Amino acid sequence: MTAAQVRRVVWVHGDSLSVTDPALSACPDAPALFVFDRPFLQAVPVAFPRLAFMYQGVRDLAAHRPGPTELRVGAVPDELAAFAAAHHAAELHVTRNFTPDFARIVDGLRAARPDLRVVIHEPERLTSFDGPLRRFFGFWKKVEREVLHGEPAPDFPRRGHR
């Protein structure tokens, strides 16, 4: 089967509320789902304006992408599994974030749907630095040139190169 024939859905989460999100850009026509995470919100207090801000983010991307965008309230892995099943999807695309919740949800989804291929896109980066970190000052010295001029230092190994 070619890539075009594989049925895909996209998971839109709270760090990816833009049409420019890598997973959404990779699958512009695929159905996308955003879930207000019920168990999480029951455990962690969040004031309403923040949730409305996120809703406005989903609304904006729904209005700007060719594919359909849905919103639900529930447990994220369950909703994603049901959404993928309803669309007969073989792949679910998402952009990685580094929160512990992200890893928990992906694990939950993989356990619920071992047959569903989860394709994780890497988030955009400001720098190409990949070494260990400790203090900002040391980090800044390494990335200063790249950030100020928009290009990596000549002696800096580019990502993807050996």
Partner 1 sequence: MTDALRLPPDLPDDQLPRVLGEALTGLYTGEPRLPARAGGRTAGLAALHAWTGEGYAGRNFLGGNVSRLSMYLRHGMLGLREVAAHARAVMRGRERDEFLRQLTWAEFYRLVLRQEGARVLGNLEDPKYPARWTGTLPDDVRGARTGLPCADAWVTHLIRDGWLHNHERLWFAAYLVHWRGVDWRAGYALFREHLLDGDIANNALSWQWVASTFSNKPYFMNQENIDRFSGGRWCRTCRAACPFRASYGELETQLFGTQP
Q: Is the distance from CB of 72 to CB of 33 less than 8 angstroms?
A: yes
Q: Give the nearer residue to partner 1 in terms of CB position, either 4 or 63.
A: 63
Contact flag: residue 116 with partner 1 (CB under 8 A):
no
Q: Give the nearer residue to partner 1 in terms of CB position, either 3 or 43.
A: 43
Cα separations in angstroms, 2 against 5, 6, 7, 146: 5, 7, 10, 38
* Tokens at 106, concatenated: 């992906």
Q: In the window 125-154, what residues touch partner 1 (CB under 8 A)? A: 125-127, 129, 132-133, 135-136, 139-140, 143-144, 147-150
Specify the amino acid at residue 78: D
Contact flag: residue 61 with partner 1 (CB under 8 A):
yes
Q: Is the distance from CB of 95 to CB of 121 less than 8 angstroms?
A: yes
Contact flag: residue 66 with partner 1 (CB under 8 A):
no
User: Which H/E stretch holds residue 43?
Assistant: helix 38-43
Write out the residues near partner 1 by the rule CB under 8 A: 14-21, 35-36, 38, 41-42, 44-64, 69-75, 78-79, 82, 95, 98-100, 123-127, 129, 132-133, 135-136, 139-140, 143-144, 147-150
